[in-house]
């Protein structure tokens, strides 16, 4: 093992290493060159962000896990972090059916206003991201590399497309190359960001089951899609179902379980950003609802007509979606019912 490998293990797996206590407690010299490089990365583009635990944009649910990263690097539309998230994970060697299910469920969840979180790996992850991209909806990729590293390389287009409506996120410094120990570590962020985690397809030794276990430890919901008993791709999902995970056939099966936690997420977000509510006697967000037409209305038009800040518009639109007043469509929103 060379010095660089040891340094990486100390940084990423310090508590798990069978090393002398004196070595584990030694102070590592800060790499100021790396810090300066990260700050230069942040300044390089308007959609580059470095968030610390006390930043109001730091995801609230992620802060609640036992070991939240003290710093996260974000690239893309930071407003995507303000919406309740659903994690979607599964096999890299997914079947065609598994890929179709992941794509469809992610697309459905995104139309209900959730940000779909996954790891941008090949297989189920990539299909979930693509389902959201094709709906012009939000999705969030948590990387096991630096936020500026495209891995796997075949997903470069997904990496670029995600940033239009969602974000790329990593706890690892920009420039960090693929390192095997980092990928299981990032799984806790996928579950930690999410009100619930869906496992679409997983064998019994799948890394996706680690994410599901982490979700349970974090007090989040776990969902699983059943598969054929004649194939091994879904044995892990069947084990989750036997242990109490909710069986999923459509996005509605997930939404009915997580609405309460999503509302709590929104209330906490409103408190942190000092956002006031509407009067209880009024229709939900009357002025905002009046700004959404029965034909596609772009977000810019809603913001302009409502006279509200974009952060408030996005939060209230999500609540209107969950209550069935509006729906997300390609290009914007439409109103579904009259007052």
Mean pLDDT, residues 171-175: 95
Structure tokens belonging to residue 256:
């009915």
Structure tokens belonging to residue 143:
């990387």
pLDDT digits (tens, 9 = 90+) for 229-274: 888 899 999 999 999 999 999 888 888 777 655 555 555 555 555 5
pLDDT digits (tens, 9 = 90+) for 128-153: 999 999 999 999 999 999 999 999 99
**Cα-trace Rg, the chain:** 20
**CA 105, CA 97: separation in Å to the nearest integer?**
12
The closest alpha carbon to 316, from 282, 325, 251, belongs to 325
Output 315 or 58, whichever has higher pLDDT.
58
**All structural domains of the chain with their residue ranges:** 3-30, 38-250, 282-335
Confidence of residue 305 (pLDDT cuts 50, 70, 90): confident
Residue 141 — φ and ψ, nearest 5°?
A: -105, 125
- The per-residue b/e assignment along 198-231, b for 16 or more CB within 10 angstroms, e otherwise, is bbbbbbeebbbbbbbbbbbebebbbbbbebeeee
State residue 8's pLDDT score.
57
Question: Looking at the domain that runs over 38-250, which CATH code has it been given?
Answer: 3.40.50.450
Which of 3.30.420.40, 1.10.10.10, 3.40.980.10, 3.40.50.970 is the CATH number of 282-335?
1.10.10.10
Least confident of 50-54, 260-264, 323-327: 260-264
Mean pLDDT, residues 322-333: 79
Mean pLDDT, residues 153-172: 96
**CA 124, CA 249: separation in Å to the nearest integer?**
16
Given 3-state DSSP classes, what are the helix, strand and coil percentages for the chain, each rounded to the nearest 5?
45, 15, 40
Q: Which residues contact 195 (CB under 8 A, 6 or more apart)?
A: 61, 84, 85, 86, 220, 221, 258, 261, 262, 265
Structure tokens belonging to residue 2:
């060379």
| C-beta contacts of 126-131 below 8 A and 24+ residues apart | 126/155, 126/158, 127/94, 127/98, 127/99, 127/100, 127/102, 127/103, 128/88, 128/102, 128/103, 128/200, 129/158, 129/162, 130/103, 130/106, 130/158, 131/102, 131/103, 131/104, 131/105, 131/106, 131/107
Structure tokens belonging to residue 13:
């797996």
Q: Which residues contact 25 (CB under 8 A, 6 or more apart)?
A: none
Structure tokens belonging to residue 311:
């952060």
**CA 261, CA 108: separation in Å to the nearest integer?**
19
State residue 11's pLDDT score.
58
Angle at 235 between CA 214 and CA 194, to 5 degrees: 30
Q: What single string gives the DSSP state of each residue in 241-262?
A: HHTTPEE-SSHHHHHHHHHHHH
The closest alpha carbon to 117, from 160, 179, 175, 169, belongs to 169
Confidence of residue 278 (pLDDT cuts 50, 70, 90): very low
84 close to 261: Cβ distance less than 8 angstroms = yes
**CA 265, CA 271: separation in Å to the nearest integer?**
10
């Amino acid at each position: 093992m060379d010095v660089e490998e040891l340094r990486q293990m100390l940084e990423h797996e310090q508590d798990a290493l069978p090393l002398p206590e004196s070595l584990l407690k030694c102070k590592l010299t800060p790499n100021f060159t790396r810090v300066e490089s990260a700050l230069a990365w942040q300044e390089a583009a308007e959609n580059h962000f470095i968030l610390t635990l006390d930043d109001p944009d730091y995801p609230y649910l992620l802060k609640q896990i036992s070991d939240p990263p003290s710093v996260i690097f974000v690239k893309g539309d930071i407003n995507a972090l303000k919406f309740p998230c659903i994690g979607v994970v599964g096999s890299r060697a997914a079947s065609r059916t598994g890929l179709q299910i992941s794509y469809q469920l992610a697309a459905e969840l995104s139309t209900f206003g959730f940000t779909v979180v996954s790891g941008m790996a090949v297989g189920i992850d990539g299909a979930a991201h693509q389902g959201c991209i094709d709906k012009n909806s939000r999705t969030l990729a948590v990387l096991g590399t630096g936020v500026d590293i495209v891995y796997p390389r075949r997903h470069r287009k997904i990496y670029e497309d995600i940033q239009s409506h969602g974000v790329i996120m990593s706890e690892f410094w920009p420039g960090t190359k693929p390192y095997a120990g980092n990928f299981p570590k990032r799984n806790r962020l996928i579950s930690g960001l999410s009100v619930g985690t869906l496992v679409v397809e997983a064998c019994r030794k799948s890394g996706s089951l680690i994410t599901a276990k982490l979700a349970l430890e974090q007090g989040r919901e776990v969902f699983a899609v059943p598969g054929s008993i004649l194939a091994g791709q879904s044995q892990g999902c069947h084990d989750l179902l036997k242990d109490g995970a909710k069986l999923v056939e459509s996005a509605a099966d997930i939404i009915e379980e997580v609405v309460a936690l999503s509302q709590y997420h929104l209330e906490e977000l409103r408190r942190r950003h000092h956002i006031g509510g509407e009067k209880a006697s009024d229709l939900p967000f009357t002025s905002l609802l009046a700004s959404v037409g029965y034909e596609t209305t772009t977000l810019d038009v809603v913001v302009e007509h409502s006279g509200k800040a974009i952060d408030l518009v996005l939060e209230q639109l999500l609540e209107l979606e969950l209550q069935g007043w509006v729906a997300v469509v390609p290009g914007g929103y439409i109103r579904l019912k009259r007052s």
